[in-house]
Structure 1
Amino acid sequence: MSEIEVIGSDDASHTPSTAAASPLSSPTPNLPVQRSWVWTHFKLLNDEGKVECQVPEKKKNGAPCNQRLTRDATASTKSMSEHLKRMHHILPPGQEKTSQLLLTNLLKRQRVEQRPVLTASLLKQAIGYFIAEADLPYSIVERKSFVHLLELLNPSTVNMEYGRKTMADEIEKLYIAHHNHIEGILKDMKHLSFTLDAWTSPNQKAFMAVTAHGITSDWKVLDIFIGMPTVQGTTIFDADTQLLGCMAHVINLAAHDGLKTFGANLSADDIVEKEVLLNHMDQTNQCNETRKTLINLQTIQWQTETLILDVRTRWNSTYLMLKRALDLKLVCTTFCSSNLSKVDASKFSLLDAEWAKVAQITTFLEPLYDVTKILCRSKYPTLSMALPIYISLIRTIYRIRETYDADKLIPAATEMIEKLKKYLTLALEKTAPICAMILDPRIKLSYFEKAHLFLVEHSISTVKPSEILKNFKYEARSFDQSPSKMRQGKASTKKSKAVKKMSIIEADIFGQGPVTDDLMGKIQQYLSEPNKKQNTDILYFWSRHQNLYPSLAAMAKCYLGIPATSAPSERVFSCSKTIIGSQRHSLGASSIEHLLCVKEWYQKFNEMMDSTSVTLKKANIDRSDNDDSDDD
């Protein structure tokens, strides 16, 4: 029997038996010489007369494909070649050395997943996503370098060139396709809440970001951006029952009220002088040398850091500014005492007593910073923490005030407490924060019961835990799914004589019936159980207890999905300024909305929508938007 030659094997080129077969032996027809390149990817099964593919599969974490093919009598390798091309996108190597096709290199060189066939519509969609995500002007598709790049990647794109208006229409189609996809997600949601935030673009167009929130059927937090319409006129609804203030804004307002009492706000003259100093530092070589010297001094103790400016509209920026200043106290003191700058920096130097004051302010602001980070989470329920955080902040500020003996600390703490008291009182008057707190198995009523005496002693609130529970039970009746309630519902569908509804007095005398007893019993059973640990996933808890507490689980889906802050809509606009730039300053309102929405949705879902089925209504096309100049 002749030896089988394996192309690409180092041993094959050095083994004498491989170079020449024994003259006494004759080739066997069933085992032909393996000379084709495909044998690098296949293994011959001698016992079965079949071959087995050895190409690593991505879906199998690198395990071989193991697809078996039957060889015909002619020993042709065409079926193997077609399999490699169709299933693994591996083509003949041509002049490439076979050693480069060894199995160890296949995962890096070949895509296992089947690639779609390039079409004009698919390319147009991909370019649309590229423009939206990278904040590029529509006119990029008309630049020669971009066209040449496409042709280099795939010569067939020479007949697939588009103009800026075509791309504007394509992005609008993608916007509609994504919008339809989101409608499909939201249509099955029974309870939804929304956050809103307004923004004015650099080209003076007003928008409002809208995000939707809720709990899905599999007990996951839904946090989705649904649109950015232009602000036109006013939108009024029942603010007393349907509007919840953003807790992060409330905390920020409390911080600024306290800082005013400290006298931390600078006068206009001080601000101008500091701006002149900073501008001068950027323009003089002497100050550049000073900066280098200070950085070298700074890096002896810390990593390279810079001072942070206070931005009034950005949460916690005052705390971060003061905290960084304390960290760089030595650097700031050294700079103000140096005479290398032409500007007199000594007037900005702080005395030890003033640095102590900064440290006190930072200590006051640190709890506010900590709770803001907790409240701005997007993947976990946050409203259940609203009431406990208000109460805990007030108690913490009281304790900090008693720690320091400074004249300005007491009025500053009082201002912060008054601001927090105001919004705590408003929160206690609304159903959502109360229900969310009780439905958190880690908190329930225990924290409010523990803090009730403190609230009364400091004249903060006289609301009793029993009143909180009463409001919760009243709201729970709207979600009642107890067995007797279900039986009553079925009985009501049958034709029977109408039963007169009991009055409030009669209900008090004769009882409220079995329906209320069932629901109230479940509430009492839930509250009597020990609280769960701090690291408990509260949505997982309710997913496991929805059969035991069906009514309370329905309430949990309604109230735990409400965010405590408007941070989700704030995040949308955090990167929106890149939409408008020197090359896109004339974009219309609808184009801005389409670009930002497509960018957000593509990054969230990591999925390209098919826009081929979307048809634009010519009557609704805003030609002023499609005529964007995209000045370069």
Structure 2
Amino acid sequence: MAMQKKKTRPKSISSNGKICGSTLKKDCSHSGENFEELLHKTVLKRVHGFRIFVQGFPKQREWFAQTVHFIQPNNYQDNITVPVLDNNECHTFSLKNEEWEQASHIIEMLNSLSAATELLCGSEYPTLNSALPIYLILIKRLTSLKKHIYICAMIIDPQFKMHFWKSQLRSIEQHCSQSLNEIKSIFFTEARKFYITTQVDMEIQTNNQHQNKPKKHSLNQFDDELFCVVEKLNELEEKIARYLQQDVEPKETKILAYWLTFRRKLFQTSPQSLGAI
């Protein structure tokens, strides 16, 4: 009967849970374990244990400020002398110089997530215009996050999305298989549905107005043919093309105020269709 192999604790982790940075990478080479995986089992576990310890301490409020200082990335090298760590009970959670270097890599990863969160939460009206670029940049920094970009996010504002698509083409090609022409085709398809609905309502209203007005007799029999208004066959495409040629607005532009001011200028639509937009 084969004997079950006894699990051994890595030499870098002592009986009291302390980490020895000089032997941490050696354990990885012998066990074949990923260095980042072993790092998460050691440094992160210790930091988490320290947080639980502080929360359960009687003077939790007084120690909270020191705990915050303890985890600040700019101060981590000086935290060895923080008073809270001088306590014998807290000595288990102290880190050596090599271990602080390991913790700095974790902090660097968390800083990317924190920066993205602050940018999105700092906007009064967070939109896909800001969320999508932040998401793509975050993908570059966090290789573990490999998610596809949903095309529905690209048809909300085609001008900004197409501009960003061209500038970030390499990154987008790695996460999305849709082409620029396909996105434009999707937008035109959705726009036509809205355009047809609004045009029918406008024609009904216009016909009612013409029926109530008396017809004017032209002085010349050719006037009706020469000076009649010719309807454009591709009016929708021309409006969208004119909108896409507009310059990209600055970052500080207030979105709601912008649409309130410029939507009539950009689209040149009637009050009925503006209300629908």
Say whether the fold is shared (TM-score over 0.5): yes
Pairing of 1:538-577 with structure 2 (within 5 A): 538-548=255-265, 549-550=267-268
Q: Structure 1 residue 370 and structure 2 residue 115: aligned?
A: yes
What CA distance in whole angstroms lies between the structure 2 residues aligned with 1:384 and 1:277? 41
Change (3 A) 1:389 1:516: farther
The alpha-carbon deviation at position 525 of structure 1 amounts to 0.6
What CA distance in whole angstroms lies between the structure 2 residues aligned with 1:363 and 1:275? 23
Match in the other structure for 1:533: 250
What CA distance in whole angstroms lies between the structure 1 residues aligned with 2:272 and 2:43? 51
The alpha-carbon deviation at position 534 of structure 1 amounts to 2.0
Q: Structure 1 residue 357 and structure 2 residue 63: aligned?
A: no
Secondary structure of the residue aligned to 2:66 is coil
Deviations 1:280-305 (A, max 9, x none): 5739xxxx9xx7xxxxxxxxxxxx94
Q: Which amino acid is 2:167 matched to?
A: K
Extract unaligned runs of 5+ from structure 2: 1-35, 210-230
* Equivalent residue in structure 2 for 1:263, among 40, 58, 80: 40
Extract unaligned runs of 5+ from structure 1: 1-258, 292-303, 309-319, 398-412, 495-513, 560-632
Deviations 1:61-102 (A, max 9, x none): xxxxxxxxxxxxxxxxxxxxxxxxxxxxxxxxxxxxxxxxxx
Pairing of 1:170-569 with structure 2 (within 5 A): 263=40, 275-276=52-53, 279=56, 282=59, 305-308=65-68, 322=71, 324=72, 326-327=74-75, 329-335=77-83, 338=86, 341-343=87-89, 345-377=90-122, 379-395=124-140, 397=141, 413-415=142-144, 417-418=145-146, 421-422=147-148, 424=149, 427-428=150-151, 430=152, 433-438=153-158, 443-456=160-173, 459-480=174-195, 488-490=203-205, 517-548=234-265, 549-550=267-268
Change (3 A) 1:355 1:544: same
Hey, which of these two has a bigger chunk of helix by percent? 2
Q: Percent identity?
A: 20
Secondary structure of the residue aligned to 2:175 is coil
Secondary structure of the residue aligned to 1:521 is helix
Deviations 1:179-209 (A, max 9, x none): xxxxxxxxxxxxxxxxxxxxxxxxxxxxxxx
What CA distance in whole angstroms lies between the structure 2 residues aligned with 1:381 and 1:270? 33
Q: Which amino acid is 1:414 matched to?
A: T
Match in the other structure for 2:8: none
Pairing of 1:87-236 with structure 2 (within 5 A): none
TM-score, length of structure 1 as denominator length: 0.29
What CA distance in whole angstroms lies between the structure 1 residues aligned with 2:97 and 2:272? 58
Greater RCO, 1 or 2 (C-alpha within 8 Å, sep 6+): 1
Secondary structure of the residue aligned to 2:251 is coil
The alpha-carbon deviation at position 555 of structure 1 amounts to 9.5
Change (3 A) 1:455 1:555: farther
Hey, which of these two has a bigger chunk of strand by percent? 1
Q: Which amino acid is 1:330 matched to?
A: D
The alpha-carbon deviation at position 356 of structure 1 amounts to 1.9
Specify the structure having the higher radius of gyration (Cα): 1
Secondary structure of the residue aligned to 1:365 is helix
Q: Which amino acid is 1:306 matched to?
A: Q
